[in-house]
Copies of this chain bind each other. A is one copy, B any other.
Protein backbone atom coordinates (compact mmCIF):
# COMPACT_ATOMS: atom_id res chain seq x y z
CA UNK A 1 0.00 0.00 0.00
CA UNK A 2 1.14 3.57 -0.57
CA UNK A 3 3.02 4.90 2.42
CA UNK A 4 3.88 8.37 3.40
CA UNK A 5 7.60 8.94 3.24
CA UNK A 6 7.74 10.83 6.51
CA UNK A 7 10.76 8.93 7.80
CA UNK A 8 14.28 10.00 7.27
CA UNK A 9 15.91 9.39 3.91
CA UNK A 10 18.36 6.53 3.62
CA UNK A 11 17.21 4.82 6.80
CA UNK A 12 18.74 1.38 6.40
CA UNK A 13 15.73 -0.51 7.73
CA UNK A 14 13.05 1.43 5.88
CA UNK A 15 11.13 -1.70 5.03
CA UNK A 16 11.05 -2.98 8.60
CA UNK A 17 9.05 0.02 9.70
CA UNK A 18 7.16 0.73 6.48
CA UNK A 19 5.91 -2.67 5.42
CA UNK A 20 3.50 -4.65 7.51
CA UNK A 21 4.24 -7.91 5.74
CA UNK A 22 6.58 -10.01 7.85
CA UNK A 23 7.03 -13.65 6.93
CA UNK A 24 4.61 -14.76 9.65
CA UNK A 25 1.83 -12.59 8.21
CA UNK A 26 1.74 -14.32 4.84
CA UNK A 27 -0.58 -16.88 6.29
CA UNK A 28 1.20 -19.88 4.80
CA UNK A 29 2.10 -22.82 6.98
CA UNK A 30 0.28 -25.63 8.75
CA UNK A 31 -2.94 -25.03 10.73
CA UNK A 32 -3.08 -21.33 9.87
CA UNK A 33 -6.85 -21.45 10.32
CA UNK A 34 -6.14 -21.45 14.06
CA UNK A 35 -2.45 -20.80 14.71
CA UNK A 36 -1.26 -17.39 13.51
CA UNK A 37 2.39 -17.86 14.39
CA UNK A 38 4.86 -19.91 16.43
CA UNK A 39 7.77 -18.37 18.26
CA UNK A 40 10.83 -19.52 20.19
CA UNK A 41 13.01 -17.16 22.18
CA UNK A 42 16.31 -18.13 23.82
CA UNK A 43 17.84 -15.96 26.56
CA UNK A 44 21.64 -15.99 26.88
CA UNK A 45 24.25 -13.91 28.71
CA UNK A 46 28.00 -13.37 28.42
CA UNK A 47 29.82 -14.81 31.39
CA UNK A 48 32.21 -11.90 31.87
CA UNK A 49 29.69 -9.05 31.93
CA UNK A 50 27.04 -7.92 34.38
CA UNK A 51 23.42 -8.30 33.25
CA UNK A 52 22.32 -5.29 31.12
CA UNK A 53 20.37 -3.67 34.00
CA UNK A 54 23.54 -3.49 36.09
CA UNK A 55 26.07 -2.94 33.29
CA UNK A 56 27.77 0.40 32.66
CA UNK A 57 27.40 2.03 29.28
CA UNK A 58 30.94 0.95 28.50
CA UNK A 59 30.19 -2.66 29.40
CA UNK A 60 27.00 -2.67 27.31
CA UNK A 61 28.97 -1.28 24.38
CA UNK A 62 31.46 -4.12 24.69
CA UNK A 63 28.68 -6.70 24.75
CA UNK A 64 27.19 -5.17 21.61
CA UNK A 65 30.59 -5.21 19.97
CA UNK A 66 31.16 -8.89 20.76
CA UNK A 67 27.74 -9.86 19.45
CA UNK A 68 28.18 -7.77 16.29
CA UNK A 69 31.43 -9.52 15.54
CA UNK A 70 29.59 -12.84 15.29
CA UNK A 71 27.53 -11.45 12.39
CA UNK A 72 30.57 -11.83 10.19
CA UNK A 73 30.51 -15.60 10.75
CA UNK A 74 30.05 -17.59 7.55
CA UNK A 75 27.79 -20.23 9.15
CA UNK A 76 25.40 -17.45 10.15
CA UNK A 77 25.36 -16.11 6.60
CA UNK A 78 24.22 -19.49 5.25
CA UNK A 79 21.10 -19.12 7.42
CA UNK A 80 20.19 -15.60 6.35
CA UNK A 81 21.41 -12.06 5.71
CA UNK A 82 21.29 -9.96 8.87
CA UNK A 83 21.17 -6.26 9.63
CA UNK A 84 22.03 -4.78 12.99
CA UNK A 85 19.95 -1.79 14.06
CA UNK A 86 21.13 0.18 17.09
CA UNK A 87 18.04 1.41 18.96
CA UNK A 88 19.38 4.95 19.29
CA UNK A 89 19.11 5.34 15.52
CA UNK A 90 15.33 4.91 15.66
CA UNK A 91 12.81 7.56 16.64
CA UNK A 92 9.96 6.81 19.01
CA UNK A 93 7.47 5.94 16.27
CA UNK A 94 9.87 3.59 14.53
CA UNK A 95 10.56 1.77 17.80
CA UNK A 96 6.83 1.45 18.40
CA UNK A 97 6.32 -0.14 15.01
CA UNK A 98 8.99 -2.77 15.68
CA UNK A 99 7.16 -3.54 18.93
CA UNK A 100 3.84 -3.85 17.11
CA UNK A 101 5.46 -6.25 14.65
CA UNK A 102 6.73 -8.29 17.63
CA UNK A 103 10.32 -7.81 16.45
CA UNK A 104 11.45 -6.13 19.67
CA UNK A 105 10.07 -5.92 23.20
CA UNK A 106 8.59 -2.74 24.70
CA UNK A 107 11.46 -2.96 27.19
CA UNK A 108 14.16 -2.80 24.54
CA UNK A 109 12.32 0.07 22.86
CA UNK A 110 12.30 2.28 25.94
CA UNK A 111 14.86 1.25 28.53
CA UNK A 112 17.94 -0.36 27.06
CA UNK A 113 21.43 1.08 27.05
CA UNK A 114 23.33 0.23 23.89
CA UNK A 115 20.28 -1.79 22.92
CA UNK A 116 20.13 -3.14 19.38
CA UNK A 117 18.20 -5.58 17.29
CA UNK A 118 19.55 -7.91 14.61
CA UNK A 119 16.98 -8.69 11.93
CA UNK A 120 16.93 -10.85 8.84
CA UNK A 121 15.10 -9.64 5.79
CA UNK A 122 11.85 -11.57 6.10
CA UNK A 123 11.70 -10.77 9.82
CA UNK A 124 11.50 -14.41 10.87
CA UNK A 125 14.59 -13.88 13.04
CA UNK A 126 15.14 -11.04 15.46
CA UNK A 127 17.96 -11.02 17.99
CA UNK A 128 17.77 -8.41 20.74
CA UNK A 129 21.00 -7.24 22.30
CA UNK A 130 21.15 -5.68 25.77
CA UNK A 131 17.52 -6.18 26.57
CA UNK A 132 16.86 -7.88 29.93
CA UNK A 133 19.55 -10.38 28.92
CA UNK A 134 22.61 -9.76 26.75
CA UNK A 135 21.18 -11.84 23.95
CA UNK A 136 17.66 -12.85 23.09
CA UNK A 137 17.42 -14.96 19.98
CA UNK A 138 13.90 -15.06 18.60
CA UNK A 139 12.51 -17.06 15.68
CA UNK A 140 8.99 -16.48 14.42
CA UNK A 141 7.31 -18.84 11.93
CA UNK A 142 3.86 -18.61 10.30
CA UNK A 143 1.24 -21.16 11.40
CA UNK A 144 1.85 -24.05 13.73
CA UNK A 145 5.61 -24.58 13.36
CA UNK A 146 6.88 -24.52 16.90
CA UNK A 147 9.39 -27.34 16.27
CA UNK A 148 10.72 -25.59 13.18
CA UNK A 149 11.06 -22.34 15.12
CA UNK A 150 12.95 -24.22 17.83
CA UNK A 151 15.30 -25.89 15.32
CA UNK A 152 16.16 -22.55 13.78
CA UNK A 153 16.68 -20.83 17.14
CA UNK A 154 18.81 -23.73 18.31
CA UNK A 155 20.99 -23.50 15.20
CA UNK A 156 21.51 -19.77 15.75
CA UNK A 157 22.24 -20.33 19.42
CA UNK A 158 24.93 -22.91 18.55
CA UNK A 159 26.65 -20.47 16.24
CA UNK A 160 26.61 -17.66 18.82
CA UNK A 161 27.77 -20.07 21.54
CA UNK A 162 30.75 -21.14 19.47
CA UNK A 163 31.96 -17.49 19.42
CA UNK A 164 30.79 -16.15 22.76
CA UNK A 165 31.47 -17.22 26.31
CA UNK A 166 27.95 -17.88 27.73
CA UNK A 167 27.18 -17.76 31.43
CA UNK A 168 26.44 -21.42 32.33
CA UNK A 169 26.25 -23.43 35.55
CA UNK A 170 26.39 -27.23 35.65
CA UNK A 171 23.39 -27.55 38.02
CA UNK A 172 21.33 -24.52 37.05
CA UNK A 173 21.99 -24.44 33.30
CA UNK A 174 22.10 -21.16 31.37
CA UNK A 175 22.14 -18.18 33.70
CA UNK A 176 19.69 -15.35 33.06
CA UNK A 177 18.91 -11.95 34.50
CA UNK A 178 15.49 -13.03 35.74
CA UNK A 179 15.31 -16.39 37.60
CA UNK A 180 12.15 -17.39 35.68
CA UNK A 181 14.33 -17.94 32.62
CA UNK A 182 17.16 -19.87 34.23
CA UNK A 183 17.92 -23.35 32.92
CA UNK A 184 17.11 -23.69 29.25
CA UNK A 185 16.46 -19.96 28.78
CA UNK A 186 13.71 -20.96 26.39
CA UNK A 187 10.36 -19.35 25.95
CA UNK A 188 8.28 -20.99 23.23
CA UNK A 189 4.84 -19.73 22.28
CA UNK A 190 2.04 -20.16 19.79
CA UNK A 191 -0.41 -17.39 18.91
CA UNK A 192 -3.85 -18.94 18.50
CA UNK A 193 -7.17 -17.57 17.24
CA UNK A 194 -9.87 -19.23 19.34
CA UNK A 195 -13.19 -17.51 18.56
CA UNK A 196 -15.33 -20.66 18.64
CA UNK A 197 -14.05 -21.69 22.09
CA UNK A 198 -14.91 -18.16 23.26
CA UNK A 199 -18.36 -18.18 21.62
CA UNK A 200 -19.23 -21.60 23.03
CA UNK A 201 -17.91 -20.51 26.44
CA UNK A 202 -15.40 -23.35 26.66
CA UNK A 203 -12.38 -21.07 26.73
CA UNK A 204 -12.06 -20.67 30.51
CA UNK A 205 -12.12 -24.40 31.11
CA UNK A 206 -9.46 -24.92 28.43
CA UNK A 207 -7.24 -22.11 29.65
CA UNK A 208 -7.38 -23.33 33.22
CA UNK A 209 -6.39 -26.83 32.05
CA UNK A 210 -3.51 -25.28 30.10
CA UNK A 211 -2.17 -23.54 33.19
CA UNK A 212 -2.19 -26.84 35.08
CA UNK A 213 0.35 -28.39 32.72
CA UNK A 214 2.97 -25.68 33.19
CA UNK A 215 1.88 -23.41 30.35
CA UNK A 216 0.68 -19.82 30.54
CA UNK A 217 -1.78 -17.80 28.45
CA UNK A 218 -1.72 -14.13 27.49
CA UNK A 219 -3.69 -11.99 25.09
CA UNK A 220 -2.17 -10.32 22.06
CA UNK A 221 -1.98 -6.51 22.29
CA UNK A 222 -4.55 -6.46 25.10
CA UNK A 223 -3.86 -5.25 28.63
CA UNK A 224 -3.02 -8.03 31.11
CA UNK A 225 -4.94 -11.20 30.45
CA UNK A 226 -7.65 -9.65 28.25
CA UNK A 227 -7.48 -11.29 24.83
CA UNK A 228 -8.37 -8.71 22.21
CA UNK A 229 -9.75 -10.26 19.04
CA UNK A 230 -9.82 -13.77 20.56
CA UNK A 231 -6.06 -14.09 20.09
CA UNK A 232 -4.31 -16.10 22.80
CA UNK A 233 -0.58 -16.58 23.22
CA UNK A 234 0.23 -19.88 24.90
CA UNK A 235 3.75 -20.38 26.17
CA UNK A 236 5.82 -22.48 28.54
CA UNK A 237 6.04 -21.29 32.12
CA UNK A 238 8.85 -23.59 33.21
CA UNK A 239 12.43 -23.29 31.93
CA UNK A 240 14.20 -25.35 34.57
CA UNK A 241 14.14 -29.14 35.13
CA UNK A 242 12.96 -29.99 31.64
CA UNK A 243 15.03 -30.43 28.50
CA UNK A 244 14.50 -28.10 25.55
CA UNK A 245 12.84 -30.96 23.66
CA UNK A 246 10.46 -31.73 26.53
CA UNK A 247 9.43 -28.06 26.70
CA UNK A 248 8.78 -27.89 22.96
CA UNK A 249 7.00 -31.28 22.89
CA UNK A 250 4.75 -30.34 25.78
CA UNK A 251 3.72 -27.05 24.16
CA UNK A 252 3.27 -28.81 20.83
CA UNK A 253 0.95 -31.48 22.16
CA UNK A 254 -1.15 -29.09 24.25
CA UNK A 255 -1.50 -26.69 21.31
CA UNK A 256 -2.44 -29.61 19.08
CA UNK A 257 -5.25 -30.51 21.48
CA UNK A 258 -6.48 -26.91 21.61
CA UNK A 259 -6.51 -26.83 17.80
CA UNK A 260 -8.74 -29.91 17.77
CA UNK A 261 -11.06 -28.43 20.41
CA UNK A 262 -11.36 -25.18 18.45
CA UNK A 263 -12.08 -27.09 15.22
CA UNK A 264 -14.76 -29.15 16.98
CA UNK A 265 -16.32 -25.98 18.42
CA UNK A 266 -16.39 -24.37 14.97
CA UNK A 267 -18.04 -27.44 13.50
CA UNK A 268 -20.61 -27.44 16.28
CA UNK A 269 -21.34 -23.75 15.74
CA UNK A 270 -21.88 -24.27 12.03
CA UNK A 271 -24.14 -27.25 12.64
CA UNK A 272 -26.22 -25.71 15.39
CA UNK A 273 -26.35 -22.03 14.51
CA UNK A 274 -25.00 -21.46 11.04
CA UNK A 275 -27.28 -18.53 10.35
CA UNK A 276 -26.33 -16.77 13.60
CA UNK A 277 -22.61 -17.22 12.90
CA UNK A 278 -23.07 -16.05 9.34
CA UNK A 279 -25.01 -13.05 10.62
CA UNK A 280 -22.27 -12.19 13.10
CA UNK A 281 -19.49 -12.56 10.53
CA UNK A 282 -21.29 -10.62 7.81
CA UNK A 283 -22.37 -7.80 10.13
CA UNK A 284 -18.77 -7.36 11.21
CA UNK A 285 -17.66 -7.39 7.58
CA UNK A 286 -20.38 -4.86 6.72
CA UNK A 287 -19.26 -2.58 9.54
CA UNK A 288 -15.53 -2.88 8.76
CA UNK A 289 -16.17 -2.05 5.10
CA UNK A 290 -18.37 0.96 5.89
CA UNK A 291 -17.46 2.54 9.25
CA UNK A 292 -15.82 5.98 9.36
CA UNK A 293 -14.55 5.66 12.93
CA UNK A 294 -13.46 2.52 14.76
CA UNK A 295 -11.49 2.05 17.97
CA UNK A 296 -8.84 -0.62 18.41
CA UNK A 297 -10.95 -2.85 20.63
CA UNK A 298 -13.91 -2.96 18.25
CA UNK A 299 -11.60 -3.41 15.26
CA UNK A 300 -9.89 -6.39 16.93
CA UNK A 301 -13.23 -8.04 17.69
CA UNK A 302 -14.67 -7.48 14.21
CA UNK A 303 -11.46 -8.58 12.48
CA UNK A 304 -11.68 -11.75 14.58
CA UNK A 305 -15.24 -12.31 13.33
CA UNK A 306 -14.14 -11.87 9.71
CA UNK A 307 -11.13 -14.16 10.21
CA UNK A 308 -13.50 -16.81 11.56
CA UNK A 309 -15.75 -16.18 8.56
CA UNK A 310 -12.85 -16.80 6.18
CA UNK A 311 -11.91 -20.02 7.97
CA UNK A 312 -15.55 -21.19 7.87
CA UNK A 313 -15.79 -20.21 4.19
CA UNK A 314 -18.61 -17.79 4.92
CA UNK A 315 -16.32 -15.19 3.33
CA UNK A 316 -14.30 -16.50 0.41
CA UNK A 317 -12.67 -13.54 -1.29
CA UNK A 318 -10.48 -12.20 1.53
CA UNK A 319 -7.01 -13.80 1.84
CA UNK A 320 -5.68 -14.61 5.31
CA UNK A 321 -2.61 -12.41 4.85
CA UNK A 322 -4.93 -9.38 4.59
CA UNK A 323 -6.20 -10.22 8.07
CA UNK A 324 -2.65 -10.58 9.43
CA UNK A 325 -1.59 -7.30 7.86
CA UNK A 326 -4.61 -5.54 9.35
CA UNK A 327 -3.76 -6.97 12.76
CA UNK A 328 -0.52 -4.98 12.65
CA UNK A 329 -1.57 -2.03 10.48
CA UNK A 330 -4.43 -1.05 12.79
CA UNK A 331 -2.08 -0.59 15.76
CA UNK A 332 -1.34 3.02 16.83
CA UNK A 333 2.33 3.05 15.70
CA UNK A 334 1.58 1.83 12.21
CA UNK A 335 -1.38 4.16 11.83
CA UNK A 336 0.84 7.11 12.65
CA UNK A 337 3.62 5.81 10.42
CA UNK A 338 1.17 5.70 7.52
CA UNK A 339 -0.20 9.13 8.39
CA UNK A 340 3.35 10.48 8.60
CA UNK A 341 2.53 12.28 11.83
CA UNK A 342 1.47 11.79 15.43
CA UNK A 343 -2.31 11.43 15.73
CA UNK A 344 -4.84 12.03 18.50
CA UNK A 345 -6.87 8.97 19.59
CA UNK A 346 -9.90 10.29 17.64
CA UNK A 347 -7.82 10.75 14.51
CA UNK A 348 -6.38 7.27 14.93
CA UNK A 349 -9.90 5.83 15.02
CA UNK A 350 -10.65 7.62 11.73
CA UNK A 351 -7.38 6.48 10.10
CA UNK A 352 -7.94 2.94 11.35
CA UNK A 353 -11.37 2.86 9.68
CA UNK A 354 -9.86 4.24 6.44
CA UNK A 355 -7.10 1.62 6.33
CA UNK A 356 -9.50 -1.22 7.02
CA UNK A 357 -11.90 -0.02 4.31
CA UNK A 358 -9.13 0.38 1.77
CA UNK A 359 -7.53 -3.02 2.50
CA UNK A 360 -10.87 -4.79 2.12
CA UNK A 361 -11.70 -2.78 -1.00
CA UNK A 362 -8.36 -3.85 -2.50
CA UNK A 363 -9.39 -7.51 -2.29
CA UNK A 364 -13.11 -7.27 -3.04
Contacts and interface: CB of A to CB of B under 8 A. Distances in A.
- The quantity of this chain's copies bound in the complex is 2
Contacts of A276: 292-293
Contact of A293 (B279, B291, B292, B350): B279
A286 B291 contact: yes
A201 to B, nearest CB: 21
A297 to B, nearest CB: 16
Nearest to A346: B275
B291 A282 contact: yes
A165 to B, nearest CB: 59
Contacts of A286: 283, 286-291
Q: Dominant SS at the A interface?
A: helix
Nearest to A284: B290
Interface in A254-290: 275-276, 278-279, 282-283, 285-290
A320 to B, nearest CB: 20
User: What's the interface size class on A, roughly?
Assistant: 10 to 19
A254 B287 CA distance: 38
A290 B279 CA distance: 8
Contacts of A353: 279
Interface of A: 275-276, 278-279, 282-283, 285-293, 350, 353
Given A276-B292, A283-B287, 15 more contacts: A275-B292, A275-B293, A278-B292, A279-B291, A279-B353, A282-B290, A282-B291, A283-B286, A283-B290, A283-B291, A285-B290, A286-B287, A286-B289, A286-B290, A287-B287
